[in-house]
Structure 1
Amino acid sequence: MNVQRPQQVDPLVSNRMSRVRSRDTKPELAVRSELHRRSLRFRVHQRPVESFRRTADIVFRPAKVAVMIDGCYWHGCPDHHRPSTKNATFWREKIASNLKRDQETNETLIAAGWLVLRFWEHEDPISVADRIQELIISRRASLQRKSR
């Protein structure tokens, strides 16, 4: 019988990875600051759909818009992601599972009537805020017309 042993975790790598933020990252804070400056009000790190155990970085509940600011490494940015050379199989599978989860999240939220906006961490926060603001205004107007 061939039993696989778990790989030893390098304490230095483990320590470094434990300090990687999953929320309130610098790119998120920059976009949130710009949105707040424009008097757009939103919720942070909430579930757009209560029964679905996934959160969005920024949630505009009345307009039903969920915003995700994706990290280039963790979400496989086509421009900036560089595959790890150490433990390459593990990291390739990890990034692939993140992408699959992102797709499932998008599909579930869209099916529930939400607009899902995804941006890369390297994108300019002002440009990101411009696009979000434009879509929020458009979405609010559209939802108001439908409710009449």
Structure 2
Amino acid sequence: MKILVQAEPFDAGAELNDFTAAQTNMGAIVSFSGIVRDLPGGGLQQMDIEHYPGMTERALEKIARDALARWDLGDVLVIHRYGPLAPQDTIMMVATASPHRKDAFEAADFLMDYLKSRAPFWKKEQTATSKEWVASKQDDEDALKRW
């Protein structure tokens, strides 16, 4: 299990290659990378992501352990950035390894739903004229109820 919370950019392809190379007897690797998207109609200058060091890592480790307990997984990778990010920056990555694809897909989906709605990160969108905190979305809350 590898959990990273960092300000620095990361190479999702290199991380996935390293994660994959470290696996043995796994038949499936599933990964997801999240990208900062622009606002509808454009105009996002940056997204500021805040977190509480220590608390955030512990929360991500707990949910990763939960995934390892619920599904037949060999390993889990979670990387999440904080600080100022521009549109098209890679903001996060999840990867799961399992002997079987169903467990790898479900665990990755579970981790993504958790990261989207419960992980202790706070996001503020900045445009030329405003700065606004990103509110939680009902769709994200509904997705988490599946688990």
Return the TM-score normalized by structure 1. Answer: 0.26
Q: Which of the pair is proportionally richer in strand?
A: 2
Q: Which has the larger radius of gyration?
A: 1
Q: Which of the pair is proportionally richer in helix?
A: 1
Return the TM-score normalized by structure 2. Answer: 0.26
Higher RCO by CA contacts (8 Å cutoff, separation 6 or greater):
2
